[in-house]
Amino acid sequence: MAIKLSLLNADPIHFSPIYVNTENVSTDKLLSLYRFANIFFPAMGSNLVNTMLDMEKNSERIIANCPPQERRKLIHRMKDMSVDLQFKVNHEGENVIEISIHIVPSDVLEQAQQGRNDLVQFKKLSADLDKIISKMIAKEISRRFTSKVTDRFKSFIGVNQAPSFVTQLLGMGWINPKGQLQKGASIDDLLTGKYHEQFEELMPKELLQEGMLIRETLETYFSIGQDDDESLFQDAQNRHSLLEITIRETKKMDS
Amino acid sequence: MAEIRRLIYVPILHAQEDPRESTSLNKIKDMAKGGGGKDATAVEAMWEGIAAKIEALNLPWESVRIYQDGAPVCGNELELAMRLANSGSPNFAFILDLIEKGARLEGTEEMDLLIKEYDLLSQLLMKNPGAERKAASVEYQAKSRELLAVRDEFIFNRITDTLNKGEVALVFMGVMHRLDKLLEKDFLVSYVIYRLPFRSVGSIYNA
């Protein structure tokens, strides 16, 4: 059975037990599908997402109409039950969007019953939802970059004088004959790891710059919420410097 | 029924360049036309993205009021903006460009609160690297968060009080602010980009 990832692996106590497998979500062609869904299923597409987010954010409000006694009965009766919803869109045999939603109804009711009025928790929840969206965007940017690298590798494979580095990567099982990076091989190893010199020789400068920018962006993303003293200090220096000028110049103008 | 006022929210990073290489108006204009060049720094790349996206909005500049993170209500807002632009702030250089088009810069923050933030930052920056700075960082973040909430409340009231009917607010606010959450109640907020928790956002702005 596939492992259901919780929303960003956040502390489950802050969430109702709805798990979205964000690793499987690809946003390719998403805009066209969104438009299609709005035309033909105006009551469904966005409402599904909104309902999910509402359940996460405001489950106690949604559940308010259900009397406590009935809630307790439902919790008891639905113990150990779970609901799995699979939302999948295919294009030419490949999954374009795949969202797995795993709901444990008794847990949803139990947590809603406990109430979550704590403002700090609510803010954390809101921030985590922001992160989910940004994670999906970051993943999509990364996917596009990987696709460009694959195209580049592919153009070398099968030609008479394939660069030795490409042959080496093929031999090591880092890429397959289609030029796709294999499990265990990472863009990071190529960009900044031990193979970066050979990678630099093969790839166009623009692509390398783009890769470094993506790497920096992802690093920044993953550092959020962790101790990041250096970037905090750098940011503090910039703000301090601007405020110093602001205060000094305002005083000068006043005098 | 009361008219819902329009507001454009631009999340920004604080940055300052070497004044000797001060970002000129022409440079920002050049950036907006896509002439930033390959060697543009991450900060320049971010402002290039912002400039291009704001340009594409085709705003009625005579009716635009600009609200800027860190710009105090002082009565000399324009002069202060010019001095900050000269000191190397690409943000204020860009604002001057917009003022040239007809937009108006509004004093946004309360000076006393900015002084408090400055004092907090001074305390943090005087600590030596290592355990001492780490402890100071934790303390700074807690105090700064509280202060930021008070600053956001002031800015929210400032925008509510000064933005006239038919005008558009253009709000440049640091990514740590949560002002947008307050504004959503009373304004039709649109984002130049969706608010992201990235600090290095050149690539996102230009996506």
CA A45 to CA A35: how far, in whole Å? 10
**How does pLDDT run across A184-193, given as a tens digit for each residue?**
666 766 777 6
Number of A–B residue contacts, CB under 8 Å: 104
* Spacing of C-alpha A175 from chain mean position: 25
**A 196-225 near B (Cβ less than 8 A):** 206, 209-210, 213-214, 216-217, 220-221, 224
* Chain B residues near residue A134 by CB distance under 8 angstroms: 196-198
For every residue of chain B, DSSP letters joined together read -PPPEEEEEEEE------GGG---HHHHHHHHTT---TT--HHHHHHHHHHHHHHHT---GGGEEEEETT-B--S-HHHHHHHHHHTT-HHHHHHHHHHHHT-EEE--B-HHHHHHHHHHHHHHHTSPTTHHHHHHHHHHHHHHHHHHHHHHHHHHHHHHHHPPTT-EEEEEEETT--HHHHHTTTEEEEESS-----S--HHHHT-
User: Using an 8 Å Cβ cutoff, are B80 and B71 in contact?
Assistant: yes
Distance from CA of B118 to the nearest CA of A (A): 6
Question: Alpha-carbon dihedral of residues B41, B46, B52, B56, nearest 10 degrees?
Answer: 170
The yes-or-no verdict on residue B59 having pLDDT over 70 is: yes
Q: Is the pTM of this model over 0.80?
A: no
Specify the pLDDT at position A15.
38
The yes-or-no verdict on residue A194 having pLDDT over 70 is: no
CA A58 to CA A75: how far, in whole Å? 18
The yes-or-no verdict on residue A73 having pLDDT over 80 is: yes
The yes-or-no verdict on residue B193 having pLDDT over 90 is: no
Using 50, 70 and 90 to split pLDDT, how confident is the model at B40?
Answer: very low
Coil vs helix vs strand at A178: coil
User: Using an 8 Å Cβ cutoff, are B65 and B170 in contact?
Assistant: yes
Using 50, 70 and 90 to split pLDDT, how confident is the model at A16?
Answer: very low
* Chain B residues near residue A221 by CB distance under 8 angstroms: 197-198
Q: Tell me whether residues B122 and A240 touch, CB distance under 8 A.
A: yes
Greatest Cα pair distance in chain B: 58
Specify the pLDDT at position A130.
54
CA A28 to CA A130: how far, in whole Å? 20
Distance from CA of B151 to the nearest CA of A (A): 14
The token pair at B184 is: 């959503």
Specify the pLDDT at position B15.
56
Using 50, 70 and 90 to split pLDDT, how confident is the model at A39?
Answer: low
User: Using an 8 Å Cβ cutoff, are B50 and B90 in contact?
Assistant: no
Q: Which of A17-21, A27-31, A250-254, B37-41 has the highest mean pLDDT?
A: A250-254
Question: Alpha-carbon dihedral of residues B194, B198, B200, B201, nearest 10 degrees?
Answer: -10
Query: Which residue spans within chain A are E strands per DSSP?
Result: 18-20, 83-91, 94-103
* Chain A residues near residue B172 by CB distance under 8 angstroms: none
Q: Which of B16, B76, B115 sits opposite A242 (nearest CB)?
A: B16
The yes-or-no verdict on residue B42 having pLDDT over 70 is: no
Helix (H) or strand (E) holding A218: helix A205-223
CA A82 to CA A103: how far, in whole Å? 6
Which DSSP symbol is given to A44? T
* Spacing of C-alpha B23 from chain mean position: 16
Distance from CA of B125 to the nearest CA of A (A): 7
pLDDT above 90 as % of chain B: 41
Specify the pLDDT at position B201.
36
Q: Tell me whether residues A236 and B200 touch, CB distance under 8 A.
A: no
Coil vs helix vs strand at A41: coil
Region A128-145 average pLDDT = 58
Instruction: Please state the three-class secondary structure of B55-99 as a single string.
Output: HHCCCCHHHEEEEECCCECCCCHHHHHHHHHHCCCHHHHHHHHHH
CA A135 to CA A53: how far, in whole Å? 16
Buried/exposed code over A215-247 (b: 16+ C-beta within 10 A; e: otherwise): bbbbebbeeeeeebeeebbebbebbbbbbebbe
User: Using an 8 Å Cβ cutoff, are B147 and A239 in contact?
Assistant: no
CA A14 to CA A78: how far, in whole Å? 21
The token pair at A169 is: 């990567």
* Chain A residues near residue B174 by CB distance under 8 angstroms: 239
Which has more confidence, A79 or A128?
A: A79
Specify the pLDDT at position A123.
54
The token pair at B154 is: 């002031």
The yes-or-no verdict on residue A244 having pLDDT over 90 is: yes
The answer, for B56 touching chain A at a CB cutoff of 8 Å, is: no
Specify the pLDDT at position A4.
36
**How does pLDDT run across B105-160, given as a tens digit for each residue?**
999 999 999 999 999 999 999 988 888 888 888 888 888 888 999 999 999 999 99
The mean pLDDT of chain A is 65
The yes-or-no verdict on residue A68 having pLDDT over 80 is: no
Using 50, 70 and 90 to split pLDDT, how confident is the model at B27?
Answer: very low
Q: Which of A58-62, A178-182, B5-9 shows the lowest mean pLDDT across its residues? A: A58-62
**How does pLDDT run across A143-175, given as a tens digit for each residue?**
667 777 888 888 888 777 777 778 877 887 778
Domain regions of chain B by residue span: 5-205
Could you tell me which chain B residue has the CA closest to the CA of A235?
A: B14
Residues paired with A175 in a beta bridge: A181
* Chain B residues near residue A241 by CB distance under 8 angstroms: 16
Specify the pLDDT at position A154.
83
Using 50, 70 and 90 to split pLDDT, how confident is the model at A106?
Answer: confident
